[in-house]
Homo-oligomer: A and B are copies of this chain.
Amino acid sequence: MDSNKKFLNGTLNTIVLALLRDNGRMYGYEICQKTKEATNNQINLTEGAIYPTLHRLEKEGLLFSTKEKVNGRVRKYYHVNQSSIKEVNSQINLLAQFVGNLRTLLKPSL
């Protein structure tokens, strides 16, 4: 389990954008948990990776955040900035394309 660590490099940014675009608002901790579940513990996003990534994407203007108090704890929800939706879509398309290329290259192994 959790063996996809090294492969994550470079793709994490775009994975986060895709999750937020397709699932609506999410908060950092939730992204880690949902991803873990969805991939049967094979992709285990670390918090040391996810939070800097979210901050970076917000700084770049692709995301914005809203704070909400839930059960006494503050949650920071991230949303895709609709004014950046074209850029977000294009980044996700590039990742989809890359996945396609990987499949092409690994075809004999799939």
Report A's interface with B, CB cutoff 8 A.
3-4, 6-11, 14-15, 18-19, 21-22, 35, 38-39, 42-43, 92-99, 101-106, 108-110
Contact = CB atoms under 8 A, between A and B. Distances in A.
Contacts of A98: 4, 7, 42-43
16 contacts: A4-B98, A7-B10, A7-B11, A9-B10, A15-B105, A18-B106, A18-B108, A39-B105, A43-B98, A43-B105, A92-B106, A93-B109, A96-B106, A96-B109, A96-B110, A99-B106
Q: Report copies per complex.
A: 2
Provide the main secondary structure of the chain A interface. Answer: helix
A4 B38 CA distance: 25
Contacts of A101: 4, 38-39, 42-43
Nearest to A17: B109
B38 A94 contact: no
A102 B11 contact: yes
Contacts of A15: 102, 105-106
